[in-house]
A and B are shown apart, each in its own frame.
Chain A
Amino acid sequence: MLSTLIGTHAFVGETGFLLFLWVFVELLSPTPDRIKRAIFIALLGTLAFFASWFIGGYYYVTFYGSGSKLLIKGGPIPWAHDIFTEAKEHIFLFLPLLSIYAFVLLKKYKNEILQKPETKKALLLLVGVIILIGLAMAGMGYIMSVGVRTALEAGNVIQ
């Protein structure tokens, strides 16, 4: 159950990250067809981030505090929770907001992106930040799993 939840959360979240990477590539040399595709892909990416939010949130609120958190904090690298879990759970909240904004901008300025380089540049930057935060989420998730693994290797058990 727990592994399935974490796996689904990570899979859906990384799918969102990859979808916005696709949007970024479409925007590099935009054409009307590429913009149309980017709008649809951005919508899917936004839905993926929301799904990842709810799945990861359910795991975090229901299981994390009484399981992995105790293991990590009692293990050799407690900072995996105190710094990385704490930062990840809050910075993640930016992603759904930014992705809705990117989707709406793409939809509204589909013509301006083709005509105005400054609009395209600003959108590329916004999508780039979404990609970077998505990558950071994956990296921080990895550090959390290292925290659990090192705690188990050290023989830490939840009392």
Chain B
Amino acid sequence: MNTKALGISTIVSIWFVVAITIIGELVKPFKDFLASLTGHHWVTKGAGALVLYILLYVLLARLVYDSDDTKPIYGAVLSAVAGGLVLFLFFALHFLL
């Protein structure tokens, strides 16, 4: 498998979850639209992230040369930590303000 493509797909999918979650909380019609696709906004987000992960990998695997470069691994680690913190702080501020 092309691990560089998979790394990039992981990073993009993480930020996709962060972005649609925050936009959904701030723009009610968008959250309703997400819910209308599968019956629940969270199901759409999860299924959407998984579909994006797979499709992006299939596309990037044809476009990106694989290497054992560790940058995509660090990118995925940083994205998971930063994305998690952004979501937690967003919901904390959303509750407090």
Spell out A's residues near B (CB within 8 Å): 53, 57, 60-61, 78-79, 82-83, 86-87, 89-91, 93-94, 96-98, 100-101, 104-105, 107-109, 112, 116, 118-119, 121-123, 125-126, 129, 133, 136
Contact = CB atoms under 8 A, between A and B. Distances in A.
B91 A87 contact: yes
* A79, A97, A118, A133, most chain B CB atoms within 10 A: A97
A86 B21 CA distance: 10
A78 B95 CA distance: 9
Contacts of B76: 98, 101, 126
A66 to B, nearest CB: 12
A83 B74 contact: no
Q: Is the interface of B mostly helix, strand, loop or mixed?
A: helix
Interface of B: 1, 3, 6-7, 10, 13-14, 17-18, 21, 39-40, 42-43, 45-46, 49-50, 53, 68, 70, 73-74, 76-77, 80-81, 83-84, 87-88, 91-92, 94-95
B52 to A, nearest CB: 10
A57 B73 CA distance: 28
Nearest to A54: B46
Contacts of B14: 94, 97
B17 A123 contact: no
Contact of A119 (B53, B70, B92): B70
Contacts of B73: 105, 122-123, 125-126
A93 B70 contact: no
Contacts of A100: 6, 53
Nearest to A89: B42
A53 B42 CA distance: 11
Contact of A90 (B7, B21, B50): B21
B84 A126 contact: no
B80 A90 contact: no
Contacts of B83: 91, 94
A125 B49 CA distance: 23
Contacts of B95: 78-79, 82-83
22 contacts: A53-B46, A57-B42, A61-B42, A83-B88, A90-B21, A91-B83, A91-B84, A93-B45, A94-B80, A101-B6, A104-B3, A104-B6, A109-B68, A116-B68, A119-B70, A122-B73, A125-B73, A125-B77, A126-B73, A129-B80, A133-B80, A136-B84
